[in-house]
Structures are given as structure tokens and as C-alpha cells.
Amino acid sequence: MIVIEKLSKSFTNLKVLNEISFSVPSGECLFVLGKSGVGKSVLLKHIVGLETPDSGSVIVGNKKVDVSDIVILSQIRKQCGLVFQFPALLDSVTVFENISFGLRARGLLKNSKEIEIRVKEKLSLVGLDESIVEKYPSQLSYGTQKRVSIARTLAVEPEYLLFDEPTTGMDPIATTGLNQLIKKLTAQLKITTVVVSHDIKSALAVADRIILLENGKIVFDGTPEKFKSTTVKLAQEFQMGF
Amino acid sequence: MYLLGVQSVPIIFVSLGFVGLMMILELAFHMRLVLKHDALVPAFSAVLMVRELGPVITCLLLTSRIGAGIAAEIGSMKVTEQLDALKMLSIDFIDYLVIPRWIGAVFSACTLTVLSIAVALFGGAFLATQKLGTSPGEYLNTVFFFVKFSDVVRCLIKAAIFGTLIPFIAAYQGFTCGTGSAAVGEAATQAVVRTSLSIIIADFILTYLFYAI
């Protein structure tokens, strides 16, 4: 379970998050929607301690995220997998090394054969075949890089999956594939998932619950069905855009 | 090691070779002017090269080549969230990004300093035989007489310290880089400026400690 309590964050004079509170029960797939620059990615980064809040708290599992406590932070990060807005693959190493990096660093798998099997399994899960394992990120298209970054995150088998704009730069077929993957992970493996996005189509197709952010506040919190019928102006604008 | 050291060889050798030639000409001119003879030109040029110019010029050139590269590489990794990705994978990016570059830079700085001094002395010997009428044997005898083993050791200590400053200052500039490509460029520029300044200040401090106390 992820609990966010009265979380506030400002950058210079701009208050991006203003006393936001919500929780994500285990196994739920939550979509956080909002216009660009509303603080969705900032919110996500607070969950794994990549941003420090001005006030408020974030609890992951039963641990409070505290950037000054390296041990706790490391434990939380080991529980979470974050798929970044950009693929964020390491340029200087191959796809295989990118995906296996976390496995080796965390000591999850030591046997080379097991690592190889895990890498291929996760590549196949995101719809990629093993022929790309020896390629470097610069040799891949943006969409493929993005899928490799998802495979890298899935390789360490996190309890919490966090996606930052996962479908940006992906073609419609890959987007549908990713949506199905998120749905499968949530339904079968009971992974708690938080997806930050402005892709309303994906949100309505995949989410168990949707939160809509505007001016640093939550203006909607409910199921996709409720989202379709809400009178919140921004929610209606999102649907009209779709 | 290949990127940091081997690829820096041409620029450092060419530069130090010409520094060696220039030093012979300058010292010969001034010694003739003041002392009315130039017999000690090889000795002075060799001592100056080993104690000061060798490590300083080599590491300043190394800074312009690899310092900017390290800052830009780490800066762009920050901008594209690769550093955050490393954090998420529990990878200590000091271990992963800085330590290998530090080892490479120290090794490169020491090796290139020794080799570049040899190139500069070779250039000096060539010019000395052409312009000063000194034979190569005489030139080398004078060099080995005046340059002490302790000078070489201190030269290597300087090179190792300068080689340490380069990756650490450059990496710091990369880690603290802002967002956007302009910030990456600024980080690279700042890395070169600050490292160069640090090398010059460190050189003064080390020279003072080695020779003035």
C-alpha cells in the first residue's frame, strides 16, 4: 500500500503540489491524470525519494520515505520499479546489460544462465525478441528503447510499479500491448501500479481508479466509470479531447 | 583508459614537443642576454619541464579533452534521467561513474606526463644540437645531472593529484548540472574552467611544499 499524506512541493514560487492526500491499496492500478506541468511526475518521484517534499509524507508498505535515511530509502527503492518518462537506458552498455544491471547490483540473481533467462523472459513480456540483446540503446527506435526500459524495471520484479508517461512516443499497437501488460501485472501478480499519464484512453481501459490533478490539488478521485460521468470541468475536457 | 589516455596522446605529444622547442629558444635567448653563455640551457629546461611544465601542461590539456567530456556525459545522463535510473537500480553512481574515471585519469595523467616530458626533452635535445651546438650525449648528461630522482617522484605526485582533480571536479559539475542541453554545455565549460584553475592553484601549493619549505 502507498499512502500519501498532505504532500506539498514548490519550485521557486510555483506550488506544484498542495497538501495532496490519497492512498493506493495493494494490487490497485491507479492512473494520475493532469495537464502537462501539473506535477504528476514530481508526485511519482516523491514515492521513491527522488524528490524531497516541502511538507507531508509518503509511506510505501510500512516504511516512510525519508531521503536522509539511506537504508530505508534503499529498501523502498528495491520494492519499487520506476519506468521513466524518457527510456533512461545507459548509453554505454547493451540492452542485455541494461536489463541485467539491477539483477546483478541487487544480488537478485547470480547465476549467468538464470540472468539470461530472466532478461529474455522480460523482453518477451514487453513484446521484444532476444535478437536485440547485444544492441546498444542508440541502435534502437525510441519506442523500442521505452519497452526495454520497462523490461529493465520488470526484471527486478518489484512490488510497486510506477510508470511516468509510459505510452509517450509509442505507436498505438505498442500502447495497447503495454496497457494489456499493466492490466495483466495488476490482475495476475497483484502488483500495485501507479501510472502518471495524460493518455485518457489508456486510463479508461486499464485503471481501477483515476485521480485528476489541477493546480496542485486533486479535483477528481474515483473509478473510470465515475470519471466518464463526472461534472468536473477538467475531466470533461480530457474526455472531449479523447 | 583508452578514451581518457590513449586518445589524448596525439594532442599532448604535439603540444609538449613544441613546448620543449620553445623553452630551449627562450632560455637560450635569456641566458645569452644575462649570463653571456647558454651551457645550462638543457639543464634548466629539463628541470623546469620535470618539476612544472610537464605535469601542469599535460594535465591542463587532459582537462580540456576529458574534463569537459566527463561533465557533459554525466550532465546528459542527469538530464535524461539515467542517474535516477541508476539510483532506482541501487547502483551507487560514484562507484559506477566516478571511480573508474578517476583510476583512468590518474593512470593517464602519470603515464602521459612521463611520456610527454620525454617528447619535450627529445624535442629540446634536437633543437639544442641544431642551435646551441650541444651534442645529444652532452644534452642528456646535463639533464641527468640536474634532474634528481626526487624531482621525478614529485612530478608523478603532482600528476596523480591533478589526475584526481580532473574527474572529481568534472563529475561534480555533471551531477549538479541543471536541466536542458544548455545546462550540459555550461557544466562542460565550468568543468574545464574550474579544473584548470584548481590545477594551477594545486601546482603552486605543491611546488611550495616540495621546494620552498
Q: Is residue B40 over pLDDT 80?
A: no
Among B88, B91, B93, the residue to mutate for chain A (most A Cβ within 10 A)? B88
Contacts of A152 in chain B (CB under 8 A): 85, 89
pLDDT of B88 higher than 90: no
* Mean pLDDT within B177-187: 89
The whole-number pLDDT of residue B1 equals 61
Residues A37 and A30: their CA atoms lie apart, in Å, by 19
Residue A25 has pLDDT above 90, yes or no: yes
Interface residue B2 vs chain A (CB under 8 A): no
pLDDT on residue B5: 62
Percent of chain B topping pLDDT 90 = 47
B90 and A89 within 8 Å at the Cβ level: the answer is no
ipTM score: 0.82
- A–B: how many Cβ contacts below 8 A? 50
pLDDT of residue B7: 74
Q: Give percent above pLDDT 70 in chain B.
A: 98
Question: Cβ contacts (< 8 Å) between B85 and chain A: which residues?
Answer: 82, 84, 88-90, 149, 152
Whether residue B68 contacts residue B189, with contact meaning beta carbons closer than 8 Å, is answered with yes
Percentage of chain A exceeding pLDDT 90: 46
- pLDDT number for residue B162: 96
Q: Is the pLDDT of residue A167 over 90?
A: no
The verdict on a CB contact (< 8 Å) between B89 and A156 is: yes
Contacts of B82 in chain A (CB under 8 A): 88-91
* Contact between B85 and A89 using a beta-carbon 8 Å cutoff: yes
Residue A163 has pLDDT above 90, yes or no: yes
| End-to-end CA separation in angstroms for chain B | 36
Average pLDDT, chain B: 88
User: Cβ neighbours of residue B207 under 8 Å, at least 6 residues apart?
Assistant: B51, B52
Tens digits of per-residue pLDDT, A83-139?
Answer: 998 888 988 899 999 999 888 888 888 788 999 999 999 998 888 888 999 999 999
Checking if the pLDDT of B3 tops 70, the result is: no
Q: Which residues contact A15 (CB under 8 A, 6 or more apart)?
A: A8, A9, A216
What band does B22 get if pLDDT is binned at 50, 70 and 90?
confident
Identify the closest residue of chain B to A155 by CA–CA distance.
B89
Which residue's entry shows cell 589516455? B5
User: What are the sequence ranges of the domains in chain A?
Assistant: 2-241
Mean pLDDT of B56-81: 92
Q: What is the mean pLDDT of residues B106-123?
A: 90
A123 contacts A100 by C-beta, under 8 angstroms:
no
The Cα B163–Cα B159 span in angstroms is 6
- A178 vs A162, residue with greater confidence: A162
| Fold (topology level) of A2-241 | Rossmann fold (3.40.50)
Q: Give the nearest chain B residue to A51 (CA atoms).
A: B84
CB contact under 8 A, A48 and B88: yes
Say if residue B1 is exposed, middle or buried (CB neighbours under 10 Å; 0-12, 13-18, 19+): middle
Q: What are A211-223's pLDDT values in tens digits?
A: 999 988 999 999 9
Q: Kindly state the cell numbers that stand for B91.
A: 547502483
